[in-house]
Amino acid sequence: MDRIYLDYAATTYVKDEVLEAMKPYYKEHFGNPSSMYESGRYAKNALDQARGEVAKCIGAKYANEIYFTACGTESDNWALKGVMEANKAKGKHLVTTAVEHHAIMDTAGYLEKNGYDVTVLPVDEYGMVTARQVKDALRDDTVLVSVVYANNEVGTINPIAEIGKVTREAGVLFHTDAVQAAGHLPLDVQADNVDLLSISAHKFYGPKGIGMLYIRNGVKIERFMHGGAQERKRRAGTENVPEIIGLAKALALATGTLEETNSRLTGLRDYMIREIMEKIPYTKLNGHPEKRLCNNVNISLEFIEAEASLLSLDLAGIECSSGSACASGSLESSHVLLAMGIPPETAKGALRFTMGETTTRQQVDYTVNELVRLAERLRKISPLFQQTHA
Ligand SMILES: Cc1ncc(COP(=O)(O)O)c(C=O)c1O
């Protein structure tokens, strides 16, 4: 049996159509978009088209509001540092949440160390914040609010449109990290009053190492990379044309099949959750039961450390993650699960399965069976379990 990949939130493969769209820009049309002659103009034209395509997919008003970056992490860093630095005259207050990806959390920490004032909003048991909480945190010197669109560990979806309404009414800028949302949820920056939005292609069947930051026209932001005049002088460096083409193609494909994919994966997700909860005792679902990404199953197997489960699953040919990919390998409990009030022992048993295009019901059944077996086996040798269940 082929290996079963259930870690689509960590990264995806590149779709054939995406690879085909990218290929000509490596050799045939390799020109530098800044060059005035024909091959340069050809590349520039492709870049403009990609920008237009991405703008359409996220509901941006203008193509020139789309800035290509090297990854989601760069987009997040730029949004926070760039906006806070450019708006010092207004104030130094940033509002964010306790369940952000490290790309936001660590950037906020860096800003705090450098004299900015950061409010970290707590979340409920599902990992969600409310627009009311955001409203109550706003002050006269608040410059920016940054809230993750959909959490990368537990998949919980935040009320982005409601938060956007609050921030727009208060005249405060709003950034959302939509790295996990893109390709799964319809994005509409205008309808949701979002001023800045980050995405990353390798989460929706595009290439790794290419991201995008939407910056609404009129938002004051410092340039991120100093150098040439690329990206309207805001992000210098020769554009990664093939990967930009890949990002646009992948996003367009995902946007076009969003409803269909969403309904198939939601069915599979709920089936897997039901099966696990029915067949394995002492199991907890982490994250919101409904307001969660269509492909995310995050469960804690009590009395079992996630590392032991991951090893057993790997031996059985199943690839998944404990907490977020970036946290796997470290023994620390996930900051997201702890912020949700989950006890550290339960957080340490958390496993994240994220499904994708190739996931089938048979794969889910096989995985659940393996989970049942490993839970029985590992609990038998768990002193804690034996003590409490003797
Ligand atoms: C919510 C979220 N933000 C940001 C990132 C970072 O994206 P990248 O890997 O493109 O730097 C990730 C990656 O897992 C993510 O899940």
pLDDT tens string 280-338? 999 999 999 999 999 999 999 999 999 999 999 999 999 999 964 444 455 678 999 99
Which of ligand 1's atoms lies nearest the C-alpha of 73? 11
Q: Is 192 in the pocket of ligand 1 (CB under 6 A)?
A: no
Indicate the SS3 state at residue 95: strand
Q: What is the pLDDT of residue 94?
A: 98
User: At residue 389, does pLDDT exceed 90?
Assistant: no
Nearest CA to ligand 1 atom 9: 72
Q: What is the pLDDT of residue 383?
A: 82
Active site residue 57: no
Nearest CA to ligand 1 atom 8: 72
State the distance from the centre of ligand 1 to the C-alpha of 337, rounded, in angstroms: 17
Which of ligand 1's atoms lies nearest the C-alpha of 100? 1
Residue of 106, 157, 180 to test ligand 1 pocket, by largest number of atoms within 8 Å of CB: 180
Q: Is 177 in the pocket of ligand 1 (CB under 6 A)?
A: yes
- Cα 102 to Cα 34: distance, rounded to the nearest angstrom: 34
Q: Is 152 in the pocket of ligand 1 (CB under 6 A)?
A: yes
In percent, the amount of the chain with pLDDT more than 70 equals 97
Q: What is the pLDDT of residue 323?
A: 66
User: At residue 66, does pLDDT exceed 70?
Assistant: yes
- Cα 158 to Cα 149: distance, rounded to the nearest angstrom: 6
Q: Is 96 in the pocket of ligand 1 (CB under 6 A)?
A: no
Q: Which of 57, 71, 320, 326 is catalytic?
A: 326
Q: Is 72 in the pocket of ligand 1 (CB under 6 A)?
A: yes
Q: Is 184 in the pocket of ligand 1 (CB under 6 A)?
A: no
**Could you tell me the pTM of the whole model?**
0.96
For the stretch 160-217, pLDDT in tens is 999 999 999 999 999 999 999 999 999 999 999 999 999 999 999 999 999 999 999 9
Q: What is the pLDDT of residue 1?
A: 65
Q: Is 71 in the pocket of ligand 1 (CB under 6 A)?
A: yes
Which tokens is 115 given?
Answer: 């004299």
For the stretch 39-51, pLDDT in tens is 999 999 999 999 9
- Cα 165 to Cα 173: distance, rounded to the nearest angstrom: 11
Q: Is 240 in the pocket of ligand 1 (CB under 6 A)?
A: no
User: At residue 354, does pLDDT exceed 60?
Assistant: yes
Which tokens is 146 given?
Answer: 């940054």
Q: Is 73 in the pocket of ligand 1 (CB under 6 A)?
A: yes
Which of ligand 1's atoms lies nearest the C-alpha of 103? 4
Q: What is the pLDDT of residue 372?
A: 98
- Cα 201 to Cα 58: distance, rounded to the nearest angstrom: 14
Beta bridge partners of 301: 283
- φ/ψ of residue 194, rounded to 5: -95, 135
Q: What is the pLDDT of residue 329?
A: 53
User: At residue 123, does pLDDT exceed 50?
Assistant: yes
User: At residue 90, does pLDDT exceed 50?
Assistant: yes
User: At residue 150, does pLDDT exceed 90?
Assistant: yes
Task: Tell me which amino acid residue 89 is.
Answer: A
Q: What is the mean pLDDT of the chain?
A: 96
Residue of 100, 199, 200 to test ligand 1 pocket, by largest number of atoms within 8 Å of CB: 200
Contact 266, 157 (CB under 8 A): no
Q: What is the pLDDT of residue 390?
A: 67
Using a CB cutoff of 8 Å and minimum separation of 24, what contacts does 29-37 make? 29/241, 32/238, 33/230, 33/238, 33/239, 33/241, 34/228, 34/229, 34/230, 34/238
Sort strands 318-319 and 4-5 into parallel, antiparallel or unpaired: parallel
Residue of 74, 157, 203 to test ligand 1 pocket, by largest number of atoms within 8 Å of CB: 203
For the stretch 230-271, pLDDT in tens is 999 999 999 999 999 999 999 999 999 999 999 999 999 999
State the distance from the centre of ligand 1 to the C-alpha of 117, rounded, in angstroms: 24
